[in-house]
Copies of this chain bind each other. A is one copy, B any other.
């Protein structure tokens, strides 16, 4: 048996800025009464939880890492040790005792909760949801001749977890949302540097999405992941989880919720997570922030056994209400002919499907995958470059190692 290593898993991205040793303690002033315990004297990687250090570091500071591709699909539910980490600043260490979540803005009754208060006041619930970075597969833009800036993700900035928390909709109802409210803002306790004064990561989602209470569609304020408390890297002690939306709308170290008639003014809503094709300020200003994740699929593993290739991967339907994967197909001639892959886990709401295929190895130099969802979406053969490198979802092709690289 020959195990084909993923072409980019050897690229060990060593980080764009080495130090980031600013006096983080000073930044607490930005968060009002919220306190953090930061260990400012250590480089970021020294703080990473032991289990997570196994991930492939794509950027050292801030810390961004993904699992090796084959590990992604060796089980349906992503173990905590195998979920990608996306951070935009140093990972804060929050003191659970002094932690507070505030809910303010266009509400009848602004409130502040400790974590135990939040856990006591609302019924606990559990939701299966796939988390995926809008920049997943970004490194493939380079194959088209133009490298996109940002974290150079291979296919691993995705994973499916079981999240424990309370319903955002129920918390908002408790506070009494005013009639003019249209958007829910989220703000973390991290500190993003390199864009003027440090500021927290933030996001917002439309009120209509925030009020969803259907199973598999409901936004959580989550303190648990796979039955354990969140790790610091995944937002301890609290984060939101928005099923069906890109990971950037699920804010870690969540401490502030603001109800507004406008989308969040946060840099990551207004400037960053948008698909734009040039760097003109008006192009960015006019583009809508990305919300739903896009239909996608990828090959995570090709193994040879006897005269066959065994191929595995994931597929994820676009994050629209009630959608799910319909079918997955593979091609060995770069898309001229297709054959069905086998979906090995029953399709669910806003959760990925794993698939596999076994085909004769003879003469196969590349394998390509594409998926279709029930909402009628299909993946494009190729895709126009966007300058921030988001939402790459064209057919995913991997070379078969040892077979030569010809078309």
Contact = CB atoms under 8 A, between A and B. Distances in A.
A113 interface: no
A321 B346 CA distance: 13
Given A75-B162, A82-B227, A227-B82, A343 B215 contact: yes
A128 B162 CA distance: 13
A216 B343 CA distance: 10
Given A126-B354, A128-B345, 16 more contacts: A1-B120, A74-B124, A74-B227, A75-B126, A75-B224, A75-B226, A76-B126, A76-B127, A77-B77, A78-B227, A124-B312, A126-B344, A128-B346, A213-B342, A216-B346, A348-B348
A344 B163 CA distance: 12
A162 B346 contact: no
A345 B123 contact: no
Interface size classification for chain A: 35 or more
Contacts of A73: 126
A123 B310 contact: yes
Contact of A346 (B77, B215, B310): B215
A77 B120 contact: no
Interface string A303-338: 001000010100000000000000000000000000
Most chain B CB inside 10 Å of its own CB: which residue of A344, A349, A354: A344
Nearest to A354: B126
Given A76-B128, A354-B126, A346 B348 contact: yes
B349 A346 contact: yes
Interface in A338-379: 342-346, 348-349, 354, 356, 358
A79 interface: yes
A77 B228 CA distance: 11
Contacts of A76: 126-128, 162
A14 to B, nearest CB: 29
23 contacts: A1-B120, A74-B124, A74-B164, A75-B164, A75-B227, A76-B128, A77-B162, A77-B227, A79-B226, A79-B227, A82-B227, A120-B305, A121-B305, A123-B356, A124-B312, A125-B354, A126-B344, A127-B345, A128-B345, A215-B343, A215-B344, A215-B345, A346-B348
Interface of A: 1, 73-79, 82, 120-121, 123-128, 162, 164, 213, 215-216, 224, 226-228, 305, 310, 312, 342-346, 348-349, 354, 356, 358
Contacts of A77: 77, 128, 162, 226-227
A239 to B, nearest CB: 16
A75 B80 CA distance: 14
Nearest to A123: B310
Contacts of A128: 76-77, 345-346
A345 B120 contact: no
Which 9 A-B residue pairs are closest in the complex by CB-CB distance?
A79-B227, A216-B346, A75-B227, A77-B162, A215-B346, A75-B126, A76-B126, A123-B310, A125-B344
